[in-house]
């Protein structure tokens, strides 16, 4: 990896920072090219934050607010119901209260009001609140008609937002970094923080850095420059002694250790989901009160409610993902590079999270819609390299309204335009983006020598924190052959102990243990963290993925995998998939049982993805797989071709569990059945044990059956047992 970078730049950064070569390379990958940039990145200081005056509209907007504060006018902050909007509302509200302003906050509800500054909601709010000044936070950049209406009622309005603007800006004062070149890319709370600083001063506003950091991390804005300073110092506040009581209660309910530092991961998985839960399921007012109230008894009650709602949200999200995956069985994944699904019963508060999970699993942009009144409300997530905001812009003839940014957006359409929208979005993606963006890939920052991973390396790596958007937690790799992974108790987790304080932990990866232990050359991908247990420090490497650099399993392994095919039995019946055209990227699975056939197929189909034993993704990439496990997820494939004398029972099994067209492959090499070299006495011994101990038992794996036989005293080899299973199965003997 280091060979691809300028050696002089690496040397310069090493001298400036005192870091080793690998860490210098990580800085370069993050766009750092000078010693001063490196120091600013590694040691972000509050004094390095930019002046709020760099933002267009800031000085004019602050003067407008100050005028209304001085007059005692009624000021209304119009927020948003997600973590960013709640944080922005809280920062600006607390600031204005400090200035003795007559201020109130309105946060729309997802169900009744929908996203942003809608005209109906605005009219209702004006009628009930009678504001003289409305300040939007985290919304409003597309509210042309709404701004005109407010002004027609004699109400001043200030727009603060961070989303992509349209061709026309609202006819009022606008503060949005996206409307100008060179401005820091902030979240909505970041913009509110800058306005608060303009209204007070640089030092006093820092007491809101904790709230701003939560919003910054949760809203997935790039963690560099201004955002990095906010996140780094906000996390310090969240870890300090003066943590807000509401946040402290949330962390306690999330199981966070009181003496442990609060990291960006903790914000993303413990704090933000709970703050978001109220806006997704009921009213975000609860989360707003959690950040702004000082009544400890009330805060504990609110925290428990948010924790409870978060559990409901998790269940709803899991149900939505499951239902979406079922719908995808009848979706054309071959010809559509974008997933667009609609279900009137889905909860609008969780479709964004569900879309994010489907995007991760299927490696393509995803939009989920649910019914709202007479239209469909959608939430979008995208993959690296595909700008979903531009996709929506290109499809706007089928859209009522939309907004967002490159990786996430929201929109609404009429139900009758759904098919037209899918066609427009899909055609734009096909014509704009290359297939390379959709192919499976392994992300790796650097290849390491595992002997160089120690506590000192991990401590220096912490200088790159907090990790997040545009500064992901580094993924490292080691090249290895056999690694002696061991099962952790009776769980599905495994670990490899390199030395007493360095381990690789692989969660739910017991099915990979044989390949990890095998002599095949492989590349292991992992992240690195420090672990402290009973005051003892160690390095924990979290296994993320594995890439086989050579696929050349032993004869025994192939025989066992082939024998498993005779045990593949199910009554499940998947619906037949719609026929799709041939695709250079998706739809076809070629199954080989011998290395000879596998290599011949790879030569014949060089663009297909080669795999061994398991598929890395449900996305139906054109794949050649050697000796697949029976639990491989081929659900979304259109056609499966099986080579090397498959048993009919396995073909029937695939037909029932995938819904794909199943074919027997024509000969592509001089293939023959596996050499069944097993003696008569070995067969008799095996048959005797099977009749005595296994006649009333069912096994789905030859290895499990073999281990059960060993416990009864059987002494044959695994290869002999696998070959015996094949012979007995072909002779019609069943367990």
Q: What is the pLDDT of residue 730?
A: 74
Average pLDDT rounded to a whole number, residues 76-96: 96
Task: Compare 36 and 114 and report the one with higher pLDDT.
Answer: 36
Q: What is the pLDDT of residue 669?
A: 57
Cross-strand pairs, 536? 533
In a shared domain, residues 634 and 685: no
Find the CATH number of the domain harbouring 432.
3.10.310.30
Q: What is the pLDDT of residue 668?
A: 66
User: For the segment 590-607, what is each residue's pLDDT rounded down to a tens digit?
Assistant: 999 999 999 999 999 999
Q: What is the pLDDT of residue 385?
A: 93
Given a cut of 80, whether residue 678 has pLDDT beyond it is no
Whole-angstrom CA distances from 165 to 137, 141, 195, 515, 519 are 14, 6, 19, 51, 55
Cα-trace Rg, the chain = 29
* pLDDT band (50, 70, 90) for residue 715: confident
In a shared domain, residues 124 and 215: yes
Q: What is the pLDDT of residue 645?
A: 85
Instruction: For residue 402, tell me if it sits in a domain.
Output: yes
Q: What is the pLDDT of residue 686?
A: 79
User: For the segment 134-192, what is each residue's pLDDT rounded down to a tens digit?
Assistant: 999 999 999 999 999 999 999 999 999 999 898 899 999 999 999 999 999 999 999 99
Compute the distance between CA of residue 545 and CA of residue 721 in angstroms, rounded to an integer: 31
Q: What is the pLDDT of residue 413?
A: 96
Q: What is the pLDDT of residue 225?
A: 93
Find the CATH number of the domain harbouring 489.
2.40.50.460
* pLDDT band (50, 70, 90) for residue 580: low
Average pLDDT rounded to a whole number, residues 106-125: 86
In a shared domain, residues 56 and 189: yes
Q: How far is CA 658 from the centre of its chain?
A: 26
In a shared domain, residues 704 and 594: no
Least confident stretch, 167-171, 536-540, 670-674: 670-674
591 three-state secondary structure: strand
Given a cut of 60, whether residue 462 has pLDDT beyond it is yes
In a shared domain, residues 126 and 205: yes
In a shared domain, residues 453 and 433: no
Q: What is the pLDDT of residue 70?
A: 97
Q: What is the pLDDT of residue 493?
A: 95
Instruction: For residue 249, tell me if it sits in a domain.
Output: no
* pLDDT band (50, 70, 90) for residue 724: confident
Average pLDDT rounded to a whole number, residues 522-545: 91
Instruction: For residue 612, tell me if it sits in a domain.
Output: yes
Given a cut of 90, whether residue 528 has pLDDT beyond it is yes
* pLDDT band (50, 70, 90) for residue 719: confident
Q: What is the pLDDT of residue 564?
A: 86
Compute the distance between CA of residue 136 and CA of residue 405 in angstroms, rounded to an integer: 18
Domain boundary residue among 183, 211, 238? 238
User: For the segment 225-255, what is each residue's pLDDT rounded down to a tens digit?
Assistant: 999 999 999 999 999 878 999 999 999 999 9
Instruction: For residue 269, tell me if it sits in a domain.
Output: no
Compute the distance between CA of residue 631 and CA of residue 60 in angstroms, rounded to an integer: 63
Instruction: For residue 672, tell me if it sits in a domain.
Output: no
Residue 139 structure tokens: 């919304």
In a shared domain, residues 588 and 512: no
Instruction: For residue 301, tell me if it sits in a domain.
Output: no
Least confident stretch, 259-268, 295-304, 517-526, 704-713: 704-713
Q: What is the pLDDT of residue 583?
A: 83
Instruction: For residue 322, tell me if it sits in a domain.
Output: no
In a shared domain, residues 107 and 199: yes
The secondary structure of residue 698, as a DSSP letter, is -
The pTM is what? 0.86
Domain that holds residue 33: 2-40
In a shared domain, residues 541 and 660: no
Consecutive H or E run containing 590: strand 588-592
Please give the share of the chain, as a percent, with pLDDT higher than 70. 97
The dihedrals phi and psi of 498, each to the nearest 5 degrees, come to -80, -45
Strands (E) in 344-440, as ranges, are 366-372, 375-381, 401-404, 408-413
* pLDDT band (50, 70, 90) for residue 579: low
Average pLDDT rounded to a whole number, residues 687-694: 76
Contact 289/302 with Cβ under 8 angstroms?
yes
Task: Compare 606 and 17 and report the one with higher pLDDT.
Answer: 606
Count up the domains in the chain and report the number.
6
Domain boundary residue among 173, 208, 238? 238
Average pLDDT rounded to a whole number, residues 398-405: 88
Q: What is the rounded average pLDDT for all residues in the chain?
A: 91
Task: Compare 396 and 706 and report the one with higher pLDDT.
Answer: 396
Q: How far is CA 201 from the centre of its chain?
A: 37
Q: What is the pLDDT of residue 534?
A: 78
Domain boundary residue among 484, 517, 548? 548
User: For the segment 408-445, what is each residue's pLDDT rounded down to a tens digit?
Assistant: 899 999 999 999 999 999 999 999 999 999 998 888 99
Given a cut of 90, whether residue 63 has pLDDT beyond it is yes
* pLDDT band (50, 70, 90) for residue 670: low
Given a cut of 70, whether residue 673 has pLDDT beyond it is no
Compute the distance between CA of residue 160 and CA of residue 57 in angstroms, rounded to an integer: 9
Given a cut of 70, whether residue 733 has pLDDT beyond it is no
User: For the segment 313-341, what is each residue's pLDDT rounded down to a tens digit?
Assistant: 999 999 999 999 999 998 999 999 999 99
Q: What is the pLDDT of residue 734?
A: 57
* pLDDT band (50, 70, 90) for residue 38: very high
Least confident stretch, 48-52, 233-237, 280-284, 557-561: 280-284
Q: What is the pLDDT of residue 695?
A: 67
Compute the distance between CA of residue 548 and CA of residue 496 in angstroms, rounded to an integer: 18
Residue 239 structure tokens: 């870890």
Average pLDDT rounded to a whole number, residues 476-491: 92
In a shared domain, residues 56 and 200: yes
Given a cut of 80, whether residue 355 has pLDDT beyond it is yes
Instruction: For residue 264, tell me if it sits in a domain.
Output: no
Average pLDDT rounded to a whole number, residues 666-671: 63
**Closest to 101 measured CA to CA, from 58, 132, 80, 78:** 132
Least confident stretch, 200-214, 268-282, 657-671: 657-671
Given a cut of 80, whether residue 581 has pLDDT beyond it is no
In a shared domain, residues 117 and 232: yes
Compute the distance between CA of residue 426 and CA of residue 127 in angstroms, rounded to an integer: 43
Structure-derived torsion over alpha carbons of residues 253, 254, 255, 258, reported in degrees to the nearest 10: -80
In a shared domain, residues 97 and 191: yes
Q: What is the pLDDT of residue 691?
A: 75
Find the CATH number of the domain harbouring 127.
3.90.1640.30
């Amino acid at each position: 990896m280091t060979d691809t970078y300028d050696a002089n730049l690496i040397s310069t950064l090493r001298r400036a920072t005192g870091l080793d070569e690998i860490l210098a390379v990580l800085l370069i990958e993050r766009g750092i090219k000078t010693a001063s940039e490196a120091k600013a990145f590694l040691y972000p200081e509050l004094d390095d934050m930019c002046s709020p005056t760099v933002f267009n509209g800031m000085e004019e907007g602050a003067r407008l607010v100050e005028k209304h504060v001085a007059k005692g006018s009624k000021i209304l902050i119009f927020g948003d119901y997600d973590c960013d909007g709640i944080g922005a509302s809280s920062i600006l509200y607390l600031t204005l209260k400090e200035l003795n302003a007559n201020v109130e906050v309105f946060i729309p509800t997802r169900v009744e009001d929908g996203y942003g500054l809608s005209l109906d909601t605005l009219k209702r709010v004006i009628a009930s609140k009678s504001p003289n000044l409305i300040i939007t936070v985290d919304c409003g950049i597309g509210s042309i008609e709404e701004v005109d209406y407010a002004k027609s009622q004699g109400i001043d309005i200030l727009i603060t937002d961070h989303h992509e603007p349209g061709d026309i800006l609202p006819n009022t004062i606008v503060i949005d970094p996206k409307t100008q070149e060179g401005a820091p890319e902030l979240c909505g709370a970041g913009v509110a923080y800058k306005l608060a600083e303009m209204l007070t001063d640089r030092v006093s506003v820092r007491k809101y850095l904790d709230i701003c950091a939560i919003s910054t991390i949760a809203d997935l804005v790039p963690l560099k420059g201004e955002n990095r300073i906010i996140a780094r110092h906000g996390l310090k506040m969240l870890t300090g002694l003066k943590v807000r009581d509401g946040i402290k209660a949330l962390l306690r309910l999330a199981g966070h250790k009181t003496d442990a530092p609060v990291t960006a991961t903790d914000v993303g998985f413990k704090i933000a989901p709970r703050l978001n839960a109220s806006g997704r399921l009921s009213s975000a007012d609860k989360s707003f009160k959690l950040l702004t109230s000082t009544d400890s008894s009330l805060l504990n009650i609110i925290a428990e409610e948010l924790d409870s709602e978060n559990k409901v949200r998790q269940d709803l999200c899991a149900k939505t993902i499951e239902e979406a995956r079922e719908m995808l069985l009848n979706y054309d994944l071959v010809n559509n590079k974008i997933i667009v699904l609609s279900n009137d019963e889905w909860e609008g508060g969780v479709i964004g999270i569900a879309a994010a999970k489907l995007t991760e699993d299927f490696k393509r942009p995803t939009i989920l819609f649910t019914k709202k009144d007479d239209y469909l409300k959608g939430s979008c997530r995208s993959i690296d390299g595909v700008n979903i905001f531009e996709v929506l812009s290109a499809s706007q003839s089928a859209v009522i309204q939309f907004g967002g940014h490159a990786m996430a957006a929201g929109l609404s359409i009429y139900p009758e335009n759904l098919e037209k929208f899918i066609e427009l979005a899909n055609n734009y993606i096909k014509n704009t983006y290359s297939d390379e963006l959709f192919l499976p890939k392994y992300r790796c920052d650097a290849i390491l020598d595992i002997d160089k991973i120690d506590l000192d390396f991990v401590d220096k790596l912490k200088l790159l924190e907090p990790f997040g958007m545009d500064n992901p937690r580094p993924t490292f790799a080691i090249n290895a052959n056999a690694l002696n992974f061991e099962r952790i108790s009776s769980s599905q987790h495994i670990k490899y102990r390199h030395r007493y304080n360095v381990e690789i932990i692989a969660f739910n990866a017991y099915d990979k243990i044989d390949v990890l232990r095998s002599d095949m050359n492989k590349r292991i991908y992992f992240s690195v963290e420090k672990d402290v247990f009973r005051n003892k420090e160690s390095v924990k490497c979290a296994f993320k993925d594995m890439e086989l650099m050579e696929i050349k399993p032993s004869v025994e392994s192939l025989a066992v995998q082939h024998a498993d095919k005779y045990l593949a039995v199910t009554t499940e019946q998947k619906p037949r998939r719609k026929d799709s055209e041939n695709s250079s990227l998706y739809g076809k699975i070629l199954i080989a049982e011998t290395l000879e056939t596998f290599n011949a197929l790879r030569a014949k189909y060089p663009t297909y993805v080669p795999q061994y034993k398991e598929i890395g993704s449900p996305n139906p990439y054109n794949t050649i797989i050697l000796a697949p496990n029976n639990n491989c997820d081929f659900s979304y494939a259109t056609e499966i071709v099986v080579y090397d004398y498959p048993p009919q029972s396995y073909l029937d099994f695939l037909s029932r569990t995938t819904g794909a067209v199943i074919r027997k492959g024509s000969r592509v090499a001089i293939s023959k059945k596996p050499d069944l070299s097993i003696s008569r006495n070995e067969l008799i011994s095996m048959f005797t044990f099977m009749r005595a101990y296994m006649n009333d038992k069912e096994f789905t794996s030859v290895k499990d059956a073999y281990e059960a036989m060993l416990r009864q005293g059987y002494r044959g080899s695994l290869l002999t047992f696998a070959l015996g299973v094949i012979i007995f199965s072909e002779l019609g003997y069943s367990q």
